[in-house]
Amino acid sequence: MSSFLNRPMIRQRLLMGSAFVATLAIGIVLGMFVTANTVEAQPTTEFSGSSALMFEFVKPSASADYEAVMQKLGEALNETDRTDQARGWKVFRAGADFTGQNAVPYVWVVDPVVSGANYAAATIINEVVPPDEMQQIYESYTNALTDGQIKALPVQLELVADF
């Protein structure tokens, strides 16, 4: 009399079942890892004040690249449902370097801030631009920022007097 596990058909089913469970477990673990990285890859910039400033410090040789990315940002804001953000968001170039880093300071003026909205330029542009083009835009944006210690400086503002 042959034992239960010595039967070739049952042994094969157990082996296939075990392989299936192992594959499923590995897939779940990898799925959690990939999902976490995707979420982390999307930058977030939120402002908590009623108004905000964001200083970004750009290499002098990359001002045109930075301004081209800001143009794409404006287009993306108007192509998505972010018109409230676009209405209160302006980007200015400072007349002189005040950083000591040989940088061209740019200032985002956000007034009013849309509560809970993400102001990360790369994330907003990514919503409307094809992935291959987005990679180039992202590299232009990040390479335009100075190599100095401070590349961007957010400032939350609360109104204390309105004259």
pLDDT in tens, 115-134: 999 999 999 999 999 988 99
Reported as a single tens digit per residue, the pLDDT across 14-33 is 555 555 554 544 555 455 44
Q: How many domains does the chain have?
A: 2
Spatial separation of the C-alpha atoms in residues 49 and 146, rounded to whole Å:
26
Give the model's confidence band at 100: pLDDT under 50 very low, under 70 low, under 90 confident, else very high. Answer: confident
Other Cβ atoms closer than 10 A to 142: 11
| Mean predicted confidence (pLDDT) in 142-162 | 90
For residue 100, tell me if it sits in a domain. Answer: yes
**Dihedral Cα 130, 79, 58, 68, nearest 10 deg:** 70
Reported as a single tens digit per residue, the pLDDT across 35-92 is 333 334 568 999 988 999 999 999 999 999 999 999 999 999 999 889 999 999 999 9
> To which H or E segment does residue 58 belong?
strand 51-58
Q: Are residues 111 and 82 in the same domain?
A: yes
Are the CB atoms for 107 and 153 separated by under 8 Å? Answer: no
Q: Which residue has the higher pLDDT, 54 or 147?
A: 54
Q: Are residues 24 and 85 in the same domain?
A: no
3-state secondary structure of 100: coil
Query: Residue 35 sits in which domain range?
Result: 4-41
Q: Please state the pTM of the whole predicted model.
A: 0.71
Q: Who's near 131: CB < 8 A, 6+ residues apart?
A: none
Spatial separation of the C-alpha atoms in residues 149 and 124, rounded to whole Å:
25
**The CATH number of the domain where 91 resides is what?**
3.30.70
**Backbone dihedral angles phi then psi of residue 51, each to the nearest 5 degrees:** -140, 165
**Residue 12, pLDDT score:** 60
Rounded to the nearest integer, the mean pLDDT of the chain is: 82
